[in-house]
């Protein structure tokens, strides 16, 4: 086969023409790309089908050329051509092979330039010895140049009909040594390519074809190759060069850069001219017998078939299934997804799509059985491809990235980002016992007994044995949830007394490690007391006292909704507080809200409690939404309800810095947070939302960090640790590291 040699122009000359030439030649050949003397190859040049020369000074430090070779391979180069100076001997070849093996560079992408003396290869044995020494570390190929090779004395080697002349020419070029050298490159577990350079001999299609039959490649300067039809006899036609090793004479695909085929019924067939399903030719490869071609193409349109499908063999064909079929379907849905379809909803809702990607990734991590892993992986692939498609990224784009990464020889550490896994390990451990603060008998609601949001969190809640308690004294909903989360005992007690019993332990109440849950001011005070007691040694979730709500509303808010939101907290107890922040409302609008509060309160069974609560509550008038948010952040409410038009409410969320839980929009009442929407309703009150979060599953888990350092890892951290310890005046800290890294002797 032909190996073009492309010489890049020296800066500041433009490389545009060279890039176009490289793209054309890369369709069928691997190209040797050479920079101008004293210059480097541009980093943005596509080297996917290129070999890059790397000078190797055998007498100097190998790190220099190894670094250069690594950089080119990382950039995606198909290979590097090592050009040793001085010329290799058996001894230096062995040394070079050892250096390559130790470097870890992939042998399949390493090529080596060899040296020949004259036309007859008088140093054949030396070359064979060098190849044998290099073979363990070089599997890409060898290059051999005959600078002084005479013009073939046997006639016109461009005559395709004269096979005897071509064979005679090759024998003249290398005598029997060609056969020996070619065989030498094939020893071991790899077949290496042997490329000859003969500057004094014109490269023709006949020469390329004959050399290919002998197992050789022929190098030729790109400047001597005609990329478009030409009558210049000194130029090698690119189509003829590409098809020289093949049993065909149709160079149409190479000349046009498109998928061009020959059909028994259609004859010469330019794919997609009528259907629009054209193909941009990316690469042509030959099979081992040189009678079959493989086209690698960028398929345009909706698929290979003129019917708009990926395969001409129907939707059930192998090429129309799996990930490729999914990518094709998503691309179609991006254009014409049916109204109301889930895929269309994903494309129109970035937040939903992002949430589903994260959700499925976590479920894949959590999956344990083979079927579960397969199912969750399929889900994740679907949503990941949907995300890619929504951003205009095709499966081919993804595959290109994967291929480019596969070419890199420098390996990344592969550590997870700190967001997902800290540099030191974390071990999550359930607290040995975590209790809910008792609920006053006034409001025996079921929700406070359900400590975590997840009923499968495995918490064990130790309290008085239920066998000694009449179940008629406990709300059945509480018992159901307690059983659902695996509670061992339930305390039939309330107030500060129950907090003390759980914190210190009694004959009938087991001591706990943590007390969680809301209560009145006495319960909150008791929790604050016991968390500071060295005898109790108990933690609490947060100060969670009497309920409170702050509602932000404007002139567009429904007075009925606003009044209902205020009353939903006012009925909790006489010590609850409700606050309305009214933005830009008129006196008449405010009067309608107050009237609704009175009207709805009188209909409540707990109206007397509401009567005691409302005098402690307040209405604040604000001129702007920014003023309302500023007041809310300073107040830090347990519940913040943005009783506003949806978009207005959503836009405000980013400005909220202190709140236990935020209810966004006119249709997000606080009651849903108590019972059904999934957020826990045990929240910080009395301004503690400025520093505490609400109860969540993390409340019932403690984390133990562990760290394991290798000797090499300690060596990297030693300088920082010793320096910081010395700054603090903690010499023993510093020495604990120094003695391990050899900086201090005991």
Could you list the active site residues? 638-639
Q: Which residues contact 356 (CB under 8 A, 6 or more apart)?
A: 346, 383
What ranges in 47-192 are assigned the alpha helix state H? 63-74, 90-103, 124-134, 163-174, 177-185
Residue indicated by tokens 């078939």: 305
Burial-class residue 259 by CB neighbours within 10 Å (0-12, 13-18, 19+): buried
DSSP string, 570-627: HTS-TT-EEEEEEES--HHHHHHHHHHHHHHHTTSTTHHHHHHHGGG-EEEEESSHHH
Q: What does the block give as tokens for 307? A: 């019917």
Q: How far apart are CA 569 and CA 294, in angstroms?
A: 73
CB of 622 within 8 A of CB of 550?
no
CB of 159 within 8 A of CB of 145?
no
CA torsion angle 104 108 110 116 (round to 10): 140
β-partners of residue 436 are: 516
- What is the dihedral sign for C-alpha 447, 449, 453, 456? negative
CB neighbours of residue 106 within 10 Å:
14
Q: How far apart are CA 50 and CA 48, in angstroms?
A: 6
Q: What does the block give as tokens for 655? A: 């400005």
Residue 268 CA from chain centroid, whole number = 44
Q: Which residues contact 3 (CB under 8 A, 6 or more apart)?
A: 29, 30, 31, 32, 51, 195, 217, 218, 219, 220
- In a 3-state reduction of DSSP, which class is residue 325? helix
CB of 150 within 8 A of CB of 200?
yes
Residue indicated by tokens 């910081």: 724
Residue indicated by tokens 């332990």: 505
To 5 degrees, how large is the angle CA 573–CA 574–CA 575? 90
Angle, in degrees to the nearest 10, between helices 646-653 and 625-635: 50
CB of 539 within 8 A of CB of 699?
no
What ranges in 232-321 are assigned the alpha helix state H? 238-243, 252-256
Name the pairing type of β-strands 267-270 and 260-263.
antiparallel
Q: Find, among 563, 617, 555, 559, the residue nearest to 583 by Cα.
A: 555
Fill in the DSSP letter of residue 272: T
Fill in the DSSP letter of residue 258: B
Residue 51, CB half-sphere, CA atoms under 13 Å: how many? 27
- What is the dihedral sign for C-alpha 194, 200, 203, 207? negative
- What is the dihedral sign for C-alpha 366, 435, 533, 508? negative
Fill in the DSSP letter of residue 224: G
DSSP string, 425-451: EEEEEE-S-EEEPPPPTT---SGGG--
């Amino acid at each position: 086969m032909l190996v073009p040699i492309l010489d890049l122009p020296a800066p500041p000359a433009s490389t545009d023409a060279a890039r176009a030439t490289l793209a054309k030649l890369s369709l069928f050949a691997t190209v040797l790309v050479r920079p101008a003397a004293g210059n480097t190859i541009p980093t943005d040049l596509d080297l996917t089908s290129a070999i890059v020369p790397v000078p190797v000074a055998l007498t100097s430090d190998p790190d220099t050329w190894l670094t250069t070779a690594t950089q080119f391979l990382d950039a995606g180069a198909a290979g590097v051509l090592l050009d040793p100076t001085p010329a290799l001997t058996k001894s230096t070849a062995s040394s070079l092979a050892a250096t390559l093996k130790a470097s870890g560079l992939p042998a399949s992408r390493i090529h080596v330039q060899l040296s020949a003396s004259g036309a007859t290869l008088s140093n054949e044995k030396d070359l064979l010895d060098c190849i044998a020494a290099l073979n363990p570390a070089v599997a890409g190929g060898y290059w051999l140049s005959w600078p002084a090779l005479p013009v073939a004395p046997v006639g016109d080697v461009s005559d395709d009909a004269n096979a005897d002349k071509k064979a005679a020419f090759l024998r003249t070029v290398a005598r029997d040594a060609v056969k020996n050298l070619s065989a030498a490159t094939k020893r071991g577990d790899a077949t290496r390519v042997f490329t000859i350079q003969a500057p004094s001999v014109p490269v023709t299609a006949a020469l390329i074809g004959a050399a290919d039959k002998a197992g050789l490649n022929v190098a030729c300067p790109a400047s001597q190759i005609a990329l478009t039809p030409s009558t210049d006899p000194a130029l090698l036609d690119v189509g003829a060069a590409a098809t020289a090793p093949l049993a065909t004479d149709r160079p149409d695909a190479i000349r046009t850069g498109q998928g061009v085929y020959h059909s028994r019924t259609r004859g010469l067939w330019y794919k997609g001219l009528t259907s629009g399903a054209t193909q941009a030719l990316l690469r042509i490869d030959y099979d081992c017998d040189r009678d079959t071609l493989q086209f690698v193409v960028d398929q345009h349109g909706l698929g290979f078939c003129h019917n708009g499908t990926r395969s001409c063999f129907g939707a059930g064909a192998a090429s129309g299934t799996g990930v490729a079929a999914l990518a094709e379907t998503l691309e179609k849905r991006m254009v014409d997804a049916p109204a109301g379809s889930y895929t269309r909803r994903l494309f129109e809702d970035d937040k939903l799509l992002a949430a589903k990607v994260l959700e499925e990734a976590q479920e894949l991590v959590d999956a344990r059985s083979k079927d579960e892993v397969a199912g969750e992986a399929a889900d994740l692939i679907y949503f990941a491809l949907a995300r890619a498609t929504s951003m205009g990224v095709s499966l081919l784009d993804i595959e290109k990235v994967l291929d480019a990464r596969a070419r890199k020889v420098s390996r990344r550490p592969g550590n997870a980002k700190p967001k997902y896994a800290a540099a030191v390990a974390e071990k999550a451990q359930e607290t040995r016992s975590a209790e809910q603060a008792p609920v006053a008998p006034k409001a025996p609601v079921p929700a406070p007994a359900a400590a975590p949001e997840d009923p499968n969190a495995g918490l064990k809640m130790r309290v008085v044995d239920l066998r000694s308690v009449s179940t008629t004294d406990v709300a059945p909903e509480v018992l159901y949830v307690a059983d659902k989360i695996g509670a061992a005992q339930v305390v039939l007690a309330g107030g500060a007394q129950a907090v003390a019993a759980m914190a210190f332990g009694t004959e009938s109440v087991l001591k706990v490690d943590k007390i969680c849950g809301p209560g009145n001011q006495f319960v909150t005070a008791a929790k604050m007391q016991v968390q500071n007691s060295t005898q109790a040694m108990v933690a609490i979730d947060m100060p969670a006292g009497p309920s409170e709500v702050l509602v932000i509303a404007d002139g567009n808010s429904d007075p009925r909704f606003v009044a209902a939101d205020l009353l939903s907290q006012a009925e909790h107890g006489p010590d609850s507080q409700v606050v309305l922040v009214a933005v830009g409302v008129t006196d008449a609008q405010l009067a309608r809200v107050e009237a609704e509060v009175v009207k709805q309160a009188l209909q409540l069974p707990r109206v007397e409690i509401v009567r005691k609560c409302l005098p402690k509550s307040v209405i604040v008038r604000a001129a702007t939404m920014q003023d309302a948010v500023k007041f809310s952040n300073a107040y830090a409410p347990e519940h913040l309800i943005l009783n506003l038009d949806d978009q207005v409410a959503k836009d405000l969320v980013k400005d909220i810095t202190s709140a236990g839980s935020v209810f966004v929009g006119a249709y997000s009442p606080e009651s849903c947070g108590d019972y059904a929407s999934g957020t826990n309703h045990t929240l910080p009150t009395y301004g503690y939302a400025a520093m505490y979060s609400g109860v969540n599953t993390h409340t019932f888990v403690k984390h133990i960090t562990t760290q394991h350092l290798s000797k090499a890892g300690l060596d990297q951290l030693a300088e920082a640790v010793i320096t910081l310890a010395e700054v603090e005046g903690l010499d023993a800290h510093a020495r604990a590291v120094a003695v391990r890294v050899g900086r201090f002797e005991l």
